[in-house]
Amino acid sequence: MEAEEEIVMTAAKRNGSAIMRLERVNHSEIDFKKVHHVAGGPYKGILINKAATDLNTVEASEGRLEFLAYMVDEDHNNEAIQDYWTLRFWFQGNADGMTKKKTFTDYFQELMNPTNFPKNYIGFIKKALVVLRSYPVIKRVDLEVNQTTEPPPEESLPPIKSFTTVFTPAVYTYQLLPEIPIQNKTFITFMLKAAGDAHIALSAVYSELERKTWEITIGAENNTKSTIKEGAMGQVKIEALTLNILTNDDFRYFWISWAENHIEVGRGAQYGYGRFLHWYVPPNKQFNVNCLGVSTDKASRGQWEFAEILDPEEEFGKQARKKKLKKSLIWLAKKQRILQCLEDSYPNTIPVSNLLKLCKVKLSDTTTAAVMLNDLQNKGFIKEVEKGFWMRIQSGGADAKDEVQIVKNIPRLTSQEQPTIAVITSLYCEKLAVDALIDNKTTFVKYKTEGESQVYSVGRIGRHKIVSTKLSKDASSPENSKISTENSVTRLLGTFSKVQHVFLVGVGGSVPDYDDASKHVRLGDIVVSLPPKERSCLYVHCQKVEHTVRTDEFKFNVKHWACADDALQKVAEKIRKVTDSSSDTERPWDIYLEEASERLKAEESSFHRPFINTDRLYYTNPDGTVVEVQHPSGDKNYIEGRTNVRFGAISNGMNIAKDGKLRKTFARLYGIKAYDLDTDAILESLEGNRNESFLIIRGIADYADGSRKEWQPYSAMAAAAYMKTLIMAL
Q: Which of 699, 634, 701, 704 is nearest to 667 (CA)?
A: 704
10's enclosing H/E stretch is strand 5-14
Choosing from 366, 392, 418, the residue where a domain stops is 392
- Does the pLDDT of residue 227 top 80, yes or no? yes
Distance of alpha carbon 711 from alpha carbon 701, whole angstroms: 5
Which pLDDT band holds residue 394 (cuts at 50, 70, 90)?
confident
Q: Shortest CA distance to 216 belongs to which of 294, 164, 307, 289?
A: 294
The pLDDT of residue 11: 92
What is the pLDDT at residue 153? 47
The whole-number pLDDT of residue 470 equals 96
Q: Are residues 618 and 668 in the same domain?
A: yes
Residue range of the domain that includes 284? 168-309
Phi, psi of 26 (to 5 degrees): -60, 140
**Mean per-residue pLDDT, 446-475:** 90
Identify the pLDDT of residue 72.
Answer: 54
Whether the per-residue pLDDT at 277 is higher than 50: the answer is yes
Q: What is the pLDDT of residues 557-580, one digit of tens each?
A: 889 999 989 999 999 999 999 888
Domain boundary among 392, 422, 449: 392
- pLDDT(275) > 80: yes
* 151 and 177 assigned to the same domain: no
104 close to 63: Cβ distance less than 8 angstroms: yes
Task: Give me the pLDDT at residue 687, please.
Answer: 92
Q: What is the pLDDT of residue 712?
A: 94
Q: Give the percent of the chain with pLDDT over 70.
A: 89
Q: Can you give 364-384 as a three-state secondary structure string?
A: HHHHHHHHHHHHHHHCCCEEE
| pLDDT-wise least confident of 18-27, 137-146, 608-617 | 608-617
Quote the pLDDT of residue 482: 85
Q: Cα dihedral sign for 488, 489, 491, 495?
A: positive
407 within some domain:
no
Residue 577 within a domain: no
Q: Which pLDDT belongs to residue 223?
A: 93
Rounded distance, CA 354 to CA 307, Å?
A: 48
pLDDT in the model for residue 310: 62
Q: Structure pTM?
A: 0.61
Residues 665 and 636 in one domain: yes
Q: Is residue 402 part of a domain?
A: no
Cα 160 to Cα 68: distance, rounded to the nearest angstrom: 8
Please report whether residue 681 resides in a domain: yes
Same domain, 606 and 697: yes
Phi and psi torsions of 641, nearest 5°: 95, -5
Residue 149 has pLDDT above 90, yes or no: no
Q: What is the mean pLDDT of the chain?
A: 86
Nearest to 674 by CA among 654, 692, 656, 693: 656
Task: Tell me: do 180 and 125 sit in the same domain.
Answer: no
Distance CA 12, CA 58 (A): 15
Convert the pLDDT of each residue in 161-219 to its tens digit. 778 889 999 988 888 888 888 878 899 999 999 999 999 999 887 666 777 899 999 99
Model pLDDT, residue 329? 56
Going by C-alpha positions, the residue among 6, 79, 89 that lies closest to residue 45 is 6
Q: Please, which residues have CB within 8 angstroms of residue 450's CB and are 6 or more apart in sequence?
A: none
Rg of the chain taking only CA atoms, in angstroms:
32
Q: What domain count does the chain have? A: 4
Which region among 72-86, 390-404, 461-475 has the lowest average model confidence (pLDDT)?
A: 72-86
Strand 464-470 and strand 421-425: pairing?
parallel
**pLDDT, position 156:** 44
What gap in Å lies between CA 478 and CA 484, rounded to an integer? 10
- pLDDT interval class at 316 (50, 70, 90): very low
Rounded to 5 degrees, what angle do the CA atoms 426, 432, 434 make?
A: 80
**567 vs 349: CA distance, rounded Å:** 37
Which is more confidently placed, 279 or 621?
279
Same domain, 79 and 138: yes
Instruction: Give the Cα separation of 310 and 65 in Å (integer).
Output: 10
Residues 20 and 101 in one domain: yes
Q: 127 and 175 share a domain?
A: no
pLDDT number for residue 60: 86
SS3 of residue 157 by DSSP:
coil
Residue 6: exposure state from Cβ atoms within 10 A (0-12, 13-18, ≥19): buried
Taking a C-beta distance cutoff of 8 angstroms, is the pair 202, 216 a contact? Answer: yes
Residue 536, CA atoms < 13 Å, CB-side half-sphere: 6
- Identify the sign of the CA torsion 418, 422, 428, 433: negative
The predicted pLDDT at position 324 comes to: 54
Q: Residue 722: pLDDT band by 50, 70, 90 thresholds?
A: very high
Which ranges of 248-317 does DSSP label H, i.e. alpha helix? 312-315
Instruction: Please give the Cα distance from 677 to 146 (Å, whole number).
Output: 67
pLDDT score recorded for residue 130: 92
- pLDDT for the residue 629: 92
Phi, psi of 637 (to 5 degrees): -90, -5
- Give CA–CA dist 186/151, Å, rounded: 30
pLDDT at site 2: 45
Residue 724 counted as domain residue: no
Cα separation, 163 vs 64, in Å, equals: 5
Compute how many other C-beta atoms are within 10 angstroms of the C-beta atom of residue 232: 21
The domain that holds 539 is classified in CATH as: 3.40.50
- Integer Cα distance of 531 and 84 in angstroms: 76
Phi/psi of residue 654, each to 5°?
55, 30
Mark out the alpha helices in 496-640 (DSSP H runs).
567-580, 588-599
Phi, psi of 668 (to 5 degrees): -65, -40
Q: Would you say 433 and 600 are in contact if contact means Cβ atoms under 8 Å apart?
A: yes
Q: Is 329 in the same domain as 283? A: no
CA atoms of 379 and 366, how far apart (whole Å)? 20
Interatomic CA distance for residues 244 and 233, integer angstroms: 22
Per-residue pLDDT at 700: 96
In this model, does residue 680 exceed pLDDT 80? yes
* Share above pLDDT 90 across residues of the chain, in percent, rounded to a whole number: 45
Asked if 349 contacts 341 with a C-beta cutoff of 8 angstroms, the reply is no
- Assess whether 619 and 548 both reside in one domain: yes
Neighbour count for residue 460 (Cβ, 10 Å) = 15
Residue 498: count of CB within 10 angstroms of its CB: 16
Same structural domain, 626 and 550: yes
Over range 304-310, report the average pLDDT. Answer: 80
Provide the CATH number for the domain around residue 337.
1.10.10
Task: Tell me the average pLDDT across 104-108.
Answer: 88
Same domain as 249, residue 189: yes
pLDDT score, position 151: 54
Query: In the listed set 358, 392, 426, which residue is the last one of a domain according to the structure?
Result: 392
428 part of a folded domain: no
Which of 700, 651, 656, 721 is CA-nearest to residue 680? 651
Task: Show Cβ contacts of residue 216 under 8 Å, excluding neighbours closer than 6 positions.
Answer: 199, 200, 201, 202, 226, 227, 228, 229, 256, 263, 265, 277
Do strands 262-267 and 403-407 pair parallel, antiparallel, or not at all (unpaired)? unpaired
Higher per-residue pLDDT: 654 or 687: 687
Say what the pLDDT of residue 465 is.
Answer: 97
Are 614 and 414 in contact, with CB atoms under 8 Å apart?
Answer: no
Q: Is the pLDDT of residue 126 over 70?
A: yes
State the pairing for strand pair 526-529/645-652. Answer: parallel
Task: Answer whether 95's CB lies under 8 Å from 83's CB.
Answer: no
pLDDT attached to residue 332 = 67
Flag the least confident range among 148-162, 257-271, 433-447, 517-531.
148-162
Confirm whether 258 is domain-assigned. yes
Is 454 part of a structural domain of the chain? no
Cα distance between residue 67 and residue 599, in whole Å: 52
Q: What pLDDT is recorded for position 649? A: 94
Give dist(CA 302, CA 148) in Å, integer.
32
